[in-house]
Structure 1
Amino acid sequence: MYPDHTHQPPAERAVEVHHPTPFPPAVAVPAPVVPVQSGTVPAVASVVLPDGRVVTGYAINPARSEPVVTKPAVSRTAVNVALGGVGFLAVCGGLILLTSFIAALTAFITQLIILAAVIFGGWIAVQILSAHGQQGGGTTVNIRKAVIKRNKFYG
């Protein structure tokens, strides 16, 4: 067996020649003619150079580049986050003031209730003590000794 995996020696093998098949030439398609309005065709200009030569051609307006949009030094997202943080701090400050106000109001109402209880309790105490000192204006109840014998009441 030979190195090219055939059973024929290299001299006995037939030589095959391959010729490439050429592609047919491309047919040139003429570019479509776009109608141009008469106002858009620039006028031909002639310029006389100092040495006497005349140069003729179309006047070309210089191409204007688009204005470059400059990016701000700080991104809008960063500004929005910062403004949100300032607003959050303002709300937190307001909530702290609101809770302080509610706590102070609660303490004030509690003190009013305690003051009312002290005044009302003092008024009741004065009524009780002043009625004990007077004999003619109250109701007298006489309590006697009662005897209970064998589930019978003797009064």
Structure 2
Amino acid sequence: MYPETTGPAPAERAVTIHQPTPIQPVIAVPAPLVPVQPGTVPAVASVVLPDGRVVTGYAIDPMRPEPVATPPAVSRTAVNVALGGVGFLAVCGGLLLLTTFITALTALITQLITLAAVIFGGWIAVQVFSASGHKGGTTVNIRKAVIKRNKFYG
């Protein structure tokens, strides 16, 4: 069963069996704390054990679990979609106002051009058709003229 080795023979090997020693259960008796004035926490705390021994050490706050982040009531995707819709409506309203503004500006420019044409055309008509008040300038009288053999007889 054992392979051949250079040590003692298998019959000479001693087997030692160790039995565990049972630990006596400790009865949980709350240890009295040394009275401390309210509102003050000493740097070092002392505890008197039931057998009269005093254990002194630093007071350690118990471990508190980290707060679990609660998910928001409304998902972020829904909020983003809603904000995108509001932005789209704002842009559409702005585009509607922009097109209305461009239409009104076009109508204003058209009316100004028409008004300028009427005023300027009226001024030209008055200048052309007014017979009175012709002052200065060159008067040309046209008479019957005869041109013979490229010579003007006037």
- Relative to the length of structure 1, the TM-score reads 0.49
More relative contact order in 1 or in 2 (CA 8 Å, sep 6+)? 2
TM-score (norm 2): 0.49
